[in-house]
Amino acid sequence: MRMTSDEIIQNGIRCFTWDSRSSRKHMFINTDQITFGVYEPVTYRRTSGEMEMIWDDTRTARLISFDDSWQSLASFRDLLDLMAAKDIKDKDDIKPIQFVAMLLTCGFEDITRY
């Protein structure tokens, strides 16, 4: 039986993939990308919505949240609080490795296929 988006958010697993370091890294020239969201347990195929943090040639982080992911984004209050605290404390732009550390601190599982 398929889980609904609400059930995935409540019972799913917070995960991320560091796309630009994965087996698909050849697709990310001059770009770092981390995709994250809440995924259905076991299969990791269905999600309640995904977001991407992207660093392009400007090296400035951009958060992209797709229109089916607002509820998931709202559930990431702990992550958003960490990001805001870093912004207040340290005016330097967030780096990919720092964002990964934040995800891990918030209990996200790294499902990157390296």
Residue with the two structure tokens 């964002």: 99
Domain count, the chain: 1
3 DSSP assignment: P
pLDDT in tens, 52-109: 999 987 778 899 998 878 888 988 999 999 998 887 677 778 899 999 999 999 999 9
Residue with the two structure tokens 């917070």: 14
- Both tokens assigned to 52: 């991407």
* Residue 29, domain extent: 5-110
Contacts of residue 41, defined as CB under 8 A and 6 or more positions apart, other chains included, come to 11, 12, 13
Residue in 12, 102, 97, 103 with CA at minimum distance from that of residue 49 = 12
**Cβ atoms 47, 40 nearer than 8 A:** yes
Task: Confirm whether pTM is higher than 0.75.
Answer: yes
pLDDT value at residue 8: 62
Residue in 51, 82, 93 with CA at minimum distance from that of residue 68 = 51
